[in-house]
């Protein structure tokens, strides 16, 4: 290709990608910069009424966060949600995608719709249903556990059980979206490879490990990154199900930020939480990309 052709191709590429770049700058980069700037101020309800009340406070918001036990409780809860929730949701999504992609399953379109439905169902409506399912005395979950001789569990009232209860609800609500992504990737895996491995005597787990997972490795990375970002930003589920309780056992970073910014009107402190959350997600994503690159997934 000539030099003029390369320049023309580069211009076409920038022209086609410029709308997406403009959206990223407008909706992601500028808010992040604004959040960083706001975190160095004491922006509160008085500054909302009169911008003259806004003062520069340096790192005081960050110092207060470091000395706040509830902030560290929120960080711990969020890390637990990420540590347990991401493998659980990714594995559940992959299993569901493989199930609806298998040839022996009848009425596959019906199963796809049924498994994807929780993702598009209203969060508040499903949360109300799940509160009944998890009810200590009348809930279906405790009834099923009682068939195995397990005593009733106060899922939403016990600090030790509330986090797993929220995690199960989040997994049920979100796995359908990831399932669709995995399903699209699974349909690109050549049937010949799977058939050849089957003829060679490879079992289901061996074919999963040496044929399917390497073929869909970039998709696994994509789903992992999206799920990690989603779990770090968990808010609506604990807000609707437990209001952060009991005993702050389900307070997440985003829930803590909401209370700082919109309950107590410490908007500068809330912006500091938001920027720290942004740094956490960015750091974990970079680690994921590095590990994926080292393993050859990308």
Structure tokens at 169: 């609800």
For residue 161, give every residue at least 6 positions away whose Cβ sits within 8 Å of its Cβ, in sequence order, or none.
153, 154, 155
Residue 142 above 90 pLDDT?
yes
Domain count, the chain: 1
Answer yes or no: is 64 within a domain: no
- The whole-number average pLDDT for the span 214-221 is 92
Could you read off the pLDDT of 62-120 as tens digits, one per residue?
Answer: 999 999 999 999 999 999 999 999 999 999 999 999 999 988 888 888 999 999 999 99
Instruction: Give strand pairing partners of 121.
Output: none
Residues 245, 91, 140: CA angle, nearest 5 degrees = 50
Contact 174, 89 (CB under 8 A): yes
Within a domain: 32: no
pLDDT at 297 over 80: no
pLDDT in tens, 250-290: 999 999 999 999 888 899 999 999 999 999 999 999 999 99
Q: Per the structure block, which two tokens stand in for 71?
A: 């902030």
Residue 226 has pLDDT above 80, yes or no: yes
**CATH number of the CATH domain containing 97:** 1.10.3720.10
Quote the CA–CA distance of 260 and 275 in Å, as a whole number. Answer: 14
Beta bridge partners of 56: 41
Q: What is the pLDDT of residues 22-31, one digit of tens each?
A: 999 999 899 8
Do residues 165 and 241 make contact, with C-beta atoms less than 8 angstroms apart? yes
Compute and round to an integer the Cα radius of gyration of the chain.
Answer: 24
pLDDT band of 204, cuts 50, 70, 90 = confident
Q: What is the pLDDT of residue 1?
A: 67
Residue 266: inside a domain: yes
Residue 278 near residue 35 (C-beta atoms within 8 A): yes
For residue 99, being part of any structural domain is answered with yes
The dihedral of CA 227, 238, 136, 126: what is its sign?
Answer: negative
| Predicted pLDDT at 2 | 76
Q: Is residue 74 part of a domain?
A: yes
Could you tell me the two tokens for 252?
Answer: 């997440």
Query: 190: pLDDT confidence band, cut at 50, 70 and 90?
Result: confident
Q: What are phi and psi of 296, to 5 degrees?
A: 85, 10
pLDDT of residue 296 exceeding 80, the answer is no
Range of the domain at 190: 70-295
- pLDDT of residue 3 exceeding 80, the answer is no
Structural domain contains residue 13: no
């Amino acid at each position: 290709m000539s030099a003029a052709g390369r320049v023309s191709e580069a211009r076409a590429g920038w022209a086609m990608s410029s709308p997406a770049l403009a959206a990223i700058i407008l909706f992601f980069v500028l808010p992040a910069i604004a959040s960083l700037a706001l975190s160095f101020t004491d922006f509160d309800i008085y500054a909302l009424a009169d911008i003259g009340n806004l003062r520069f406070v340096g790192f005081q918001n960050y110092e207060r966060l470091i000395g706040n036990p509830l902030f560290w409780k929120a960080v711990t809860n969020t890390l637990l949600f990420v540590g347990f929730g991401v493998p659980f949701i990714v594995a559940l999504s992959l299993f569901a995608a493989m199930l609806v992609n298998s040839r022996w399953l009848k009425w596959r379109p019906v199963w796809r719709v049924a498994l994807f439905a929780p993702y598009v169902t209203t969060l508040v409506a499903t949360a109300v249903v799940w509160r009944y399912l998890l009810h200590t005395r009348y809930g279906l979950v405790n009834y099923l556990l009682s068939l195995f001789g397990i005593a009733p569990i106060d899922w939403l009232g016990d600090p030790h059980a509330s986090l797993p209860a929220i995690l199960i609800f989040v997994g049920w609500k979100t796995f359908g979206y990831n399932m669709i992504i995995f399903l699209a990737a699974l349909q690109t895996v050549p049937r010949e490879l799977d058939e050849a491995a089957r003829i060679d005597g490879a079992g289901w787990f061996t074919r999963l490990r040496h044929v399917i997972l390497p073929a869909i490795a970039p998709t696994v990375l994509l789903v992992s990154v999206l799920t990690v970002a989603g779990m770090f930003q968990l808010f609506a589920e604990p807000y609707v199900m437990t209001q952060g309780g009991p005993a702050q056992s389900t307070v997440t970073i985003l829930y803590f930020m909401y209370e700082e910014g919109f309950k107590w009107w410490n908007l500068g402190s809330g912006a500091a939480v938001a920027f720290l959350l942004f740094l956490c997600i960015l750091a974990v994503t970079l680690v994921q990309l590095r590990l994926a690159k080292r393993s050859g997934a990308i």
